[in-house]
């Protein structure tokens, strides 16, 4: 789990990177920017807000030969070994980004390189390097007092509520290529940022496998359980699946299937679905892994335990304990009305 609220910006270097294919140059600042409390507060919100709002999907530096050949990995390692060198290294980072800015779609912009301290990762402090880029310029109005009127001045600037691109390189797991978080608000040039510049690959840890396996289960519920059973059983299957993850530290597929699939006929269907669809989720060869509790909580928050009926009625099954639905919700068929019905048992209505 990442917590950026106690994080400090120790240094800031700002450069401008143009588009190489349009013969735009690169401007490298000679000295770091001198921070004050007001600027620091604004920049922390600008830099960190997207990472607080985004799911924690970690990456790691990669190279087809060895991670030591990844240029940004080498620069990051030098900064962590000698933090005082960060401004000099920031020039290398800006130059590296400029070298990759050769597609016509890539926009010029400012590059901010920061040294961060007190980043909380899984309740442990770590230092980090932040690399952020602003690209999109927005028009805004300024006003100047003149005798008898206010003059409107149209200017262009950066919207500090929306960061265009950014990454945080955590000084954790160096041997595996560090742990890296990335955001990219502009989808027209994703290869440029993730692949060409950062040179990263997905970090396949317990967080990754927990999220991917539960997403796979959600799609299995929709594609297989719903057609074979009904909406109630689709919802119940996912409740049982998430609860199984929540109460176990290790995932073992056979135990999982025996517990969450009420209908044994669906077990071979699940295995067949995994053979067909597993590669899409990178779980085709995965049947055992440690469970990440934070990832389970994230999935549970997004689950929609709702049965939507064509009579404009919704039944929301909000249980931590899925056995409640088995006891208190029944589905049947009314011959006279030629319609399905749900029978719901309760003791008293809750006051909302």
Q: Name the more confident of 104 and 222.
A: 222
User: What is the pLDDT at residue 319?
Assistant: 54
Binned at pLDDT 50, 70 and 90, residue 6 comes out as: very high
pLDDT in tens, 246-305: 999 999 999 999 999 888 889 999 999 999 999 999 898 889 999 988 888 878 877 777
Query: Based on the domain organization, do 218 and 170 belong to the same domain?
Result: no
Question: What's the pTM?
Answer: 0.76
352 occurs within a structural domain:
no
CA distance 201 to 23: 30
User: What is the pLDDT at residue 181?
Assistant: 94
Last residue in a domain, options 175, 203, 231: 203
**Secondary structure class of 41 (helix, strand, coil):** helix
Choose the weakest-confidence range: 96-100, 144-148, 336-340.
Answer: 336-340
Total structural domains within the chain:
2
Last residue in a domain, options 166, 183, 203: 203
Residue 29 has pLDDT above 60, yes or no: yes
351 occurs within a structural domain:
no
Query: Based on the domain organization, do 74 and 170 belong to the same domain?
Result: yes
pLDDT in tens, 313-347: 887 776 556 566 667 777 788 888 888 888 888 78
How many other CB atoms are there within 10 angstroms of residue 268's CB atom? 10
Contact 56, 207 (CB under 8 A): yes
* Strand-strand pairing, 329-334 and 149-157: unpaired
CA distance 277 to 284: 8
Query: Based on the domain organization, do 170 and 259 belong to the same domain?
Result: no
45 occurs within a structural domain:
yes
Query: Based on the domain organization, do 284 and 319 belong to the same domain?
Result: yes
User: What is the pLDDT at residue 51?
Assistant: 92
252 occurs within a structural domain:
yes
Give the list of residues 6+ apart from residue 219 with CB closer than 8 angstroms, or none: 277
Last residue in a domain, options 150, 185, 203: 203
Query: Based on the domain organization, do 317 and 182 belong to the same domain?
Result: no
60 occurs within a structural domain:
yes
Query: Based on the domain organization, do 112 and 258 belong to the same domain?
Result: no
User: What is the pLDDT at residue 300?
Assistant: 80
Q: Residue 212's domain spans which residues?
A: 207-344
pLDDT in tens, 75-86: 999 999 999 999
Query: Based on the domain organization, do 322 and 309 belong to the same domain?
Result: yes
CA distance 214 to 240: 11
Query: Based on the domain organization, do 231 and 257 belong to the same domain?
Result: yes
350 occurs within a structural domain:
no
CA distance 281 to 283: 5
Average pLDDT over residues 89-105: 92
Contact 184, 167 (CB under 8 A): no
Residue 56 has pLDDT above 80, yes or no: no
Residues above pLDDT 70, as percent of the chain: 96
262 occurs within a structural domain:
yes
Give the list of residues 6+ apart from residue 217 with CB closer than 8 angstroms, or none: 237, 238, 241
Residue 309 has pLDDT above 70, yes or no: yes
Element (H, E) at 154: strand 149-157
CA distance 260 to 253: 10
Q: Name the more confident of 53 and 284.
A: 284
Query: Based on the domain organization, do 194 and 216 belong to the same domain?
Result: no
User: What is the pLDDT at residue 98?
Assistant: 94
Bridge partner residues of 307 (DSSP): 315
Q: What is the CA radius of gyration of the chain?
A: 26
Query: Based on the domain organization, do 165 and 213 belong to the same domain?
Result: no
Q: How far from the centroid of its chain's Cα atoms is residue 114's Cα? A: 21
Contact 191, 199 (CB under 8 A): no
Distances (CA, A) of 190 to 53, 68, 103, 164, 292: 19, 23, 12, 11, 28
Question: What's the mean per-residue pLDDT of the chain?
Answer: 88
223 occurs within a structural domain:
yes
Concatenated DSSP letters of 116-127: EEEEEETTEEEE
Query: Based on the domain organization, do 151 and 287 belong to the same domain?
Result: no
Query: Based on the domain organization, do 199 and 262 belong to the same domain?
Result: no
Element (H, E) at 194: none
């Amino acid at each position: 789990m990442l917590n950026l609220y106690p994080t400090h910006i120790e240094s800031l270097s700002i450069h401008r990177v143009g588009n190489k294919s349009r013969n735009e140059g690169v401007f490298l600042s000679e000295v770091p920017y001198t921070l004050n409390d007001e600027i620091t507060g604004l920049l922390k919100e600008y830099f960190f807000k997207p990472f607080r709002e985004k799911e924690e999907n970690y990456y790691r530096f990669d190279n087809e030969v060895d991670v030591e050949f990844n240029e940004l990995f080498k620069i990051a390692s030098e900064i962590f070994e000698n933090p005082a060198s960060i401004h000099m290294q920031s020039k290398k980072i800006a130059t590296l980004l400029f070298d990759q800015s050769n597609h016509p779609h890539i926009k010029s912009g400012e590059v901010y390189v920061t040294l961060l301290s007190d980043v909380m990762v899984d309740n442990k402090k770590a230092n980090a390097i932040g690399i952020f880029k602003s690209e999109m310029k927005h028009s805004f109005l300024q006003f100047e007092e003149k005798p008898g009127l206010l003059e409107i001045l149209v200017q262009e600037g950066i919207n500090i509520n929306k960061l265009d691109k950014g990454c945080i390189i955590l000084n954790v797991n160096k041997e595996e290529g560090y742990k890296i978080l990335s955001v990219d608000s502009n989808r027209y040039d994703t290869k440029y940022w993730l692949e060409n510049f950062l040179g990263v690959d997905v970090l396949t840890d317990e967080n990754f496998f927990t999220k991917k396996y539960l997403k796979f289960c959600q799609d299995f519920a929709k594609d297989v359980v719903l057609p074979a059973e009904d909406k109630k059983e689709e919802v119940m299957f996912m409740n049982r699946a998430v609860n199984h993850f929540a109460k176990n530290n290790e995932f073992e597929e056979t135990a999982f299937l025996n517990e969450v699939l009420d209908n044994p006929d669906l077990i071979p269907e699940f295995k067949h679905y995994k053979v067909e669809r597993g590669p899409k989720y990178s779980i085709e060869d995965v049947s055992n892994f440690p469970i990440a509790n934070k990832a389970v909580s994230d999935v549970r928050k997004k689950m929609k335990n709702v049965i939507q009926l064509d009579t404009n009625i919704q039944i929301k099954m909000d249980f931590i304990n899925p056995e409640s639905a088995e006891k208190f919700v029944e589905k049947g068929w009314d011959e006279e009305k030629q319609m399905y019905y749900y029978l719901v048992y309760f003791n008293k209505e809750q006051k909302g």
